[in-house]
Amino acid sequence: MQALTLERTVGHSVTLELARNADAPGAARRALDAIDHGLDYEREYAVKLLMSELVSNAVKYGGAGTLVLDIESTAHCVRVEVDDQGPAFIPKRREAELDTPGGWGFVLVDELASRWGSSIQSAQVWFEIDAA
């Protein structure tokens, strides 16, 4: 089973339609490798980690159908948008005890992203990591 369908690639950006399965986070990480992003190792790792968290959340909690992933690199930052095409929601920070598994995705996004947010009209979550 193929995890992604490449819709658009333009040097510094890519849009993917990802199947809602366990291969989706890996496909998202490979998509970042396919564009010219110019990030240093630490920032590239952070983008891949946060992207994996958001795609995993969309696979696990989103509605039916595919996910849409947009990655755009500019001179100033890399921006990632994940939309599971489900209903809008308000991202919540972890409230469970520290030894309870799971629930760390938005904590990581809040700590590592330069900026992040969500849409009030759809299940889209985005983040940006500054290039320098």
Copy the structure tokens of residue 25: 């986070």
Point out the residues of the chain with pLDDT beneath 50: 1-10, 101
What does the pLDDT read at residue 98? 52
What does the pLDDT read at residue 89? 57
Strands of the 77-83 sheet, one edge to the other: 4-10, 13-18, 67-73, 77-83, 124-130, 115-118
In CATH, what number does 4-116 get?
3.30.565.10
Q: What is the pLDDT of residues 18-34, one digit of tens each?
A: 999 999 999 999 999 98
All structural domains of the chain with their residue ranges? 4-116
What does the pLDDT read at residue 121? 72
- Determine the Cα–Cα distance for residues 94 and 47; give it in Å rounded to an integer: 20
What does the pLDDT read at residue 94? 52
- Determine the Cα–Cα distance for residues 127 and 84; give it in Å rounded to an integer: 15
Beta strands in the chain (DSSP E): 4-10, 13-18, 67-73, 77-83, 115-118, 124-130
Copy the structure tokens of residue 4: 């992604």
What does the pLDDT read at residue 2? 40
